[in-house]
Amino acid sequence: MYRLITRDNNAKRGEFHTVHGTIQTPVFMNVGTAAAIKGAVSTLDLQAIDTQVELSNTYHLHVRPGDLVVKKMGGLHKFMVWDKPILTDSGGFQVFSLAGLRKIKEEGVYFQSHIDGKRIFMGPEESMQIQSNLASTIAMAFDECPPHPATRKYMQDSVDRTTRWLLRCKTEMERLNSLEDTINPKQMLFGINQGGTFADIRIEHARRISELDLDGYALGGLAVGESHEEMYEIIEQTVPYLPLEKPTYLMGVGTPANILEAVERGVDFFDCVYPSRNGRHGHAYTNHGKMNLLNAKYELDERPIEEGCQCPVCKTYSRAYIRHLLKAKEMLGLRFLVTHNLYFYNKMMEEIRMAIEEHRFQEYKRDKLARMAEGE
Ligand SMILES: [Zn+2]
């Protein structure tokens, strides 16, 4: 259940109550694709840097180790040892972006596993069953992630099918939550708004899915090749048609600047691979822009990645040491950068929440963006 605490213009400050604890929003969800943060960051590390939500990918866990294995191990929370909220995606995005040779039908999607080429079928019911086996806190509805660009006709047909699939997801989840051996009978469902960059299709779709009284609503199919300006415009036009008293989730976005712009337009939930992916490439996020720790100028630099940062890495290690680890291709160097970057993202969300509460979000956003643009 979502409670809107306050608003600063369109920015929302809320809290979302779940069976695995309360999420303070706006929130960043830390992406652990196959039940692990890439970069050797464990759930113990996530606890140490005070993160709120972990996100795992249904498709990846379905192909390996298999959702039935996870169910037999007591569900994802027990399997990966994490007692706070977990969101699982529906598998749809990976089916449409990773899997080979797929065929979309009314019943669902036929495709080949990217691991072993095995033929798999996934439709709304299968996605809900897998997510119920994983026993995540929040399950995402199975949708089609349409290609970009797509014709208006393709988009309208796709969105209509996504709506029919959403109704099937809702029915199936209600059935699964009522079964005796379901690990999390309080699993929640978020619907996904689609429509590409066609604002009128997005708005009409948002109206239709809002009537279903779901636990939350996501904007999908953005950051897939359109410009940032187009994305902000679509968010601005669509969010007002989603329920104010439910959380809004912008899927797969983005840079710190993208997040600040979307918060300003009323978004509550975010997830993105940037902090871990950039960390694995030797890049650190700081309040003075991105740093490349491989740079020769850090060879004898005794300072932490970012002075004043309270993450366990910055409190302990120097730039010189981390640079050495990266040069020597020691996994520890990547782990340090990913840890710092996740801390940076989660800390920024904390600052955002405080700024909204104190009704100074505009000022905070302006200062943060100006500082990040400065460079080191
Ligand atoms: Zn740090």
- pLDDT tens across 176-226, in order? 999 999 999 999 999 999 999 999 999 999 999 999 999 999 999 999 999
Report the topology of domain 2-272: TIM Barrel (3.20.20)
Instruction: Give the DSSP H/E element, type plus range, for residue 122.
Output: strand 119-122
Cα 25 to Cα 53: distance, rounded to the nearest angstrom = 11
pLDDT score recorded for residue 117:
85
Q: How far is the CA of 346 from the centre of ligand 1 (A)?
A: 11
For residues 51 and 74, what is the distance between their CA atoms, to the nearest angstrom? 23
Residue ranges of domains in the chain:
2-272, 279-374
Show Cβ contacts of residue 308 under 8 Å, excluding neighbours closer than 6 positions. none
State both tokens at 270: 């975010």
Of 89-93, 263-267, 350-354, which gets the smallest average pLDDT? 89-93
Distance from residue 197's CA to the centre of ligand 1 (Å): 37
Cα 14 to middle of ligand 1, angstroms: 27
Active site residues per annotation: 89, 271
CA dist 208 and 308 (Å) reads 47
The confidence score (pLDDT) of residue 376 equals: 61
- Of the pLDDT bands very low, low, confident and very high (cuts 50, 70, 90), residue 19 is very high
Place of tokens 């695995």: 20
Query: For 282-305, what is the mean pLDDT?
Result: 97
CB neighbours of residue 101 within 10 Å:
9
pTM of the model: 0.97
Q: Which residues are part of a known binding site for Zn(2+)?
A: 309, 311, 314, 340
